[in-house]
Amino acid sequence: MIEAVVGKKIYSTWMDMLKKLVPHGRTHRISVVVASMLQYAQQIANEKQKSNSKARKLFELFEAAYDNYIEEDIIDILSITESLLKDAKVKFKRVNSRGNCYSIAEEGVHQYLHWQDMPWES
């Protein structure tokens, strides 16, 4: 769905970036890259939503997750984010040195949802 909204050229660039960065990248850095892709997709979806049904649907999913931040709404954005990483054919589920599982997709969604947070301004 994101590819249809942001366009093939941008999506292809993202796929290339993820293929090169994810395999050896640190999750806390990669998750910000993924979140920025989601932020960009949301902005483009917003711009195109009046004339494009896929953009409208994507924008609604982003808005629901961002505004409500409830589990059911986040699942859709997580699914979209996992699809983004699957399209790039990269492993996004990892295990840390303590044996705990975590996900680049989940961390990316977390970064997306907290994009505007600046704790030092509170």
74-112 pLDDT tens trace: 888 999 999 999 999 999 999 888 999 999 999 999 999
Average pLDDT rounded to a whole number, residues 39-65: 93
Q: From the CB of residue 62, how many other CB atoms can be counted at a distance below 10 Å?
A: 23
Ranges of each domain in the chain: 2-117
53 exposed, middle or buried (CB, 10 Å; 0-12, 13-18, 19+)? exposed
117 exposed, middle or buried (CB, 10 Å; 0-12, 13-18, 19+)? exposed
What pTM does this model have? 0.90
Q: Read off the DSSP letter of residue 18.
A: H
Indicate the average pLDDT of the chain: 90
